[in-house]
Every structure is written in structure tokens, then in C-alpha cells.
Structure 1
Amino acid sequence: MAEHHSGRVAVVTGAGNGLGAAFAEALGESHRVVVNNRVHPDRPHSALAVVERIRAAGGTAIAEGSAVDCDGAAKAIVASALDAFGRLDTLVLNAGISGPAIKVGEGDTALAEVMAINFFANVALVEAALPALRQSPAGRIVFVSSTGGLHGVRGRAAYAASKGAVNGWALSLADELRRTAILVNVITPYAATNMTARPDRVPDDRLSPANAATALAALCSPEWTRTGDIWVAGASHVRPARALEGPVAPVGVLREQADALAGFEHGTGFAGGEAAFADFYARVMSEEEPKA
């Protein structure tokens, strides 16, 4: 059990299971944690089990049951931290949905619903939390996003759009807060969760949510000094990510040299989130192969 950093307090949204639960439990080693997850009337509140695990490990936590996209939820979630612990130092914006797997033009992609939960709810939470975070000597905001927001995801246009909005908004916020004690970063985890499960695929234990949570905890530490980054995390590995631009050339050569110019000689681009993951996973696997 790590020592608490001067009683630091964290809110983790969507933390009833999967990645959110792993994030909350990882932060339970250094923070008092508000474990948010919406209450479903037909089953037990999943956040309570996470709270019990944090307490069993020697930490301090409470459950909060607001649905992040409901009116007043942002203020209620922040108020729960302030009422219980008197401060807020870390905000982890994890709650999200994937939306239906439908290609554009073939049906309702549920864009409005996905954006409401994945993007607009996060904006409201940040706005509600900023006054308290400004009082912290080391405020931290971490947006949980996806490489789909950088590269797109075939069949998940609404999800990719929402995460692209998250990325752009988070990086803008980081720049606006650069002269304050609040650091803003984005984590794009690769993990086997209910959202990514497929009946024809056996989950890889290396992709457990806990193996992405260690990176999240580092970004939330008061010792962390970087802001405005996107970090891919999974299988106990990390790598930085960002949008890339290639070389500058006269517009007259565009038709003949477009393929070469778009090749990103000094960077890496991916044709979709699946390809970005495949490359990441292949590199992790190659590191683990026995050396001759």
C-alpha cells in the first residue's frame, strides 16, 4: 500500500468494472477515490464492489451513482468528492460507450447518444471540477480516449468521432491551463473489456485492464510534470501518440507526389484504430520473444 500524497482525492467516472475499476483501484494506492458508475435499477451498484476492493487493500473510497450524461450529474459527482473529503485533486474521465457497430449510411450510428456520454459529459465534468482542481497544489485531469480518435474505426464512426473530439478538447485544455498547477493528459488504453469482447476471440491476459492502469496512475501523480500528451497504454507498455504532418512541398507536385508526401517518412500513420493496435501489439510481442 503506497502512502497517500497529502490526502489526495480522485474522481473516476464509469468505474464500476473493466478499465474504470482498474483505474480506481490503482489510484486507491495514492488517493481517496470517488468511484462513479451509473446505478442500474435491475442489478446491484457495481461501484460498491470496487469500493470494497479498495478498502480491503487499505485505501479509502466511496461510491457515486450518477449517470454522467444526466442533467446535474457533473455538479453532483464533484460535490460528492468535496462533501466526503473536502477537496479534489485528480479527475479521470473514463465513462463512455462504443455505440452500435454500423457503417455510415447503413443505419443509425447513435451519434448524438455517443457524443453526449463520451464528449459532452466530460466537458461538463471538467467545468464543474475546475474550481476545486485550481485549489490543488497538483491538479490532474486525464481523459480516457482511444486511438480510434486519431485513426478512425471502421464501423464505429460515432465512437471515433467522439474520441477525436475528446482528444482535441483535452489538448486545447492542456494548453489553456499550461501556466497553472493543473496538468491535462490523454490515455488511450488497449485492454480486454466487455466493450471489446468478441465470442470468437480468447482474451490475452497481457491485455488485462490492470496492465494499462499503472500508466494512468503515473499520469495522476503529483510528481508527473508533462501536460498535453496522448499516451497509448496496454500490456504493461506505453508509447506516445500524436497527429502527424509530413514534409512541405510546392502544391504543383501534389498530383504526382501525393503518395510519397503522405508516406510520413519521419513518422507513423495508421489506416484505422485496428492497424494502430496491431502494430503496437506486434511490437510488444517482439520484445518478449527470446533473443538468440
Structure 2
Amino acid sequence: MAEDQGGRVAVVTGAGNGLGAAFAKALGGSHRVVVNNRVHADRPHSAVAVVERIEAAGGSAIVEGSAVDREGAPEAIVAAALEAFGRLDTLVLNAGVSGPATKVGEGDTGLAEVMRINFFANVALVEAALPALRDSPAGRIVFVSSTGGLHGVRGRAAYSASKGALNAWALSLADELRRTAIRVNVIAPYAATNMTARPDRVPDKRLSPKGAADALVALCSPKWNRTGDIWVAGAGHVRPARALEGPVARVATLPEQADTLAGFERGTGFAGGEAAFADFYARVTQMEEQKA
């Protein structure tokens, strides 16, 4: 039977299969779930099977068939949650596309389409959902991103750019909402799915979507109080990730020290750009005072 956490309600986008389906099923133990996935005219709606699995396990769920990038979709998705369950507590932004595997300069990387679905659609859905999430005693937003947004991926510049934008927007949102009951985090899952499948490679069983879904459930819990983090998750394990900045050096020494500086082994992470600037300025001031 489903675990009662005050009748919490979750929306999971792109939840017809793969990671999204795993996320929706896992949340079915603690939430009533709106399983979003776009309808395809040439095949059965995959979200129906996900709803059936949640209900068979004692949970409650409904199907929502909007394509996340369609005009009016954000409002329709939120309305479905409110009409069916009367509230919205958790928003899992999973829907996305990888785009074509094309290196920059060798053809169309699909940047506009990838950004529209992976970034702008998520922004619009958050904006539509915020009023309902503010009414929740413990609102939770989880962006499903990728380490490609931190490090880049050869041949997937558009995908990496969209996830990098998503990371930055999510962390900015977390900072803006820090004094509210809404917690905003990012999960970067490693999992074998249709998006990552290759015909010449046998999927690693350890990298099943469930190995990341358990971490997602933790981030959606009302007991989870951290905000503004990026968590890499897979195979039942997690690790934190963030952009780091290295040591400060005088520009005059850059030609001689560039390789050493750029290859720093240890760095400092910051909770926002303002903190990063404050640290940089403090270090420059200290160096100038020592020089004097």
C-alpha cells in the first residue's frame, strides 16, 4: 500500500517510460501522481501502463497527455493535478530530448528544438506551478538534468547547453525561494534508457532507472530540507556536484601559471554567483594587502 504523507501530489513529466516512468512509480508510494507523457497517434499511450502499475501497488495516479512544449501545456498539466487531487506538492521536470548526435560545424545540432523542450518548457511549467507549490506546506521541485550540463558532451553540444542552462536556472530559483517552504534541487541520473541505448552495447543491469529513482524520492520528501544542490545518482549511489573555482593569481603571472592554475586539484564551491564574487574579491584584497 502507498505510504501516506499527508496526501501529497506529484507531477512527473515525460513519465511514459525510462527514467520518468521509474520516477513516477517510485513516487507512487508517497504521492498521488500525475503521469505526464505526450500522446503519440501511432501507438498506445505509454503513461497508461505506468498508472496501472502505481494503482496495482496501492497508489493513486492519473494520465496527463500534454506535450510539455505545446502552447498551454504548463497550465493544462497543473490544472490536471488540481482538478484530480486538489493540490500540488512536488514537481519533477523529467521530459526532455537528446537531439541529434552531431558535432558543431558538421550540421544542424537541433539547438532550438532541444532548448525549447529541455529548458524553456521547464521554465514555463515551473512558473505555472509556483502558485500551487507555494500553497503546499513542503513544496518540492526537482529538475532532471545531466552531468553534460556541467562538463559538456562531445557531439551533444545542444543537449549539454540545455542542461547547463537548466542547472543555472534551477540554482537561481533555489536561491530566490530559499525563504519559502519550497525546496529546489537538481538530479543528474546515470541510467540505461532508450535515450542512452546503443546497438553495440549491452545495458549494465546496475544502471537500471530504479538506481536513480530512489534518490529522486529522497529529494521529494517533505523531510528533505536542503535546497540548491546538484546530485549525481545511479546504481543506488549518489554524489554531490557543483561548479568549482580554483586559486586566485595575478594576471601578470598567467602565462607561466596557466597550466597549473587550470589543472587545480582542489576548488571551492559557492552557493550562488554573489558568494563566488565575494570570495574572489576577498582573496584579491588579501593578496594586494600582502603585496603592500
**TM value normalised by structure 1:** 0.91
**Does structure 1 retain, via aligned residues, the 8 Å contact 2:2–2:58?**
no
**Residue in 2 that maps onto 1:192:** 192
The residue number in structure 1 matching 2:56 is: 56
Partner residue of 2:6?
Answer: 6
Residue deviations 1:79-113, cap 9 Å, x none? 00000000000000000000000000100011000
Distance 1:98 1:126 in 2: 21
CA distance in 1, matches of 2:50, 2:81: 16
C-alpha separation in 1, matches of 2:253 and 2:63: 59
Segments of 5+ residues of structure 1 without an aligned counterpart are: 269-292
Per the alignment, residue 235 of structure 1 pairs with 235
Instruction: After superposition, give the CA deviation of every residue in 1:147-176 in whole Å (9 maximum; x if it has no partner).
Output: 000000000000000000000000000000
Give aligned-pair identity as a percent.
85
Q: 1:142 deviation in Å? A: 0.1
- After superposition, residues 57-76 of structure 1 pair within 5 angstroms as 57-76=57-76
Whether the aligned pair in 1 keeps the contact of 2:36 and 2:64 (CA below 8 Å) is: yes
Q: Secondary structure at the match of 2:3?
A: coil
* Residues 146-161 of structure 1: pairs in structure 2 closer than 5 A: 146-161=146-161
Q: Are residue 21 (structure 1) and residue 21 (structure 2) matched? A: yes
Whole-angstrom distance in 2 between the partners of 1:246 and 1:2 = 47
Kept in 1, the 8 Å contact 2:247–2:267? The answer is no
Give every structure 1 segment of 4 or more consecutive aligned residues whose post-TM-superposition deviation is greater than 2 Å.
Answer: none
What is residue 285 of structure 1 aligned with on the other side?
Answer: none
* 2:104 corresponding residue in structure 1: 104
TM-score scaled by structure 2? 0.91
User: 1:183 matched to which residue of 2?
Assistant: 183
Secondary structure at the aligned position of 1:248 is classed as coil
CA-atom RMSD, angstroms? 0.9
The CA distance in 2 between the partners of 1:15 and 1:267, in whole Å, is 37
1:3 deviation in Å?
Answer: 1.7
CA distance in 2, matches of 1:234, 1:212: 5
Aligned residue number for residue 288 of structure 1: none
Stretches of structure 2 that go unaligned for 5 or more consecutive residues are 269-292
- What one-letter code is carried by the residue in structure 2 that aligns with 1:31? H
* TM-superposed deviation, 1:263: 1.5
State the distance in 1 between where 2:166 and 2:200 align.
31
How many residues are treated as equivalent by the alignment?
A: 268
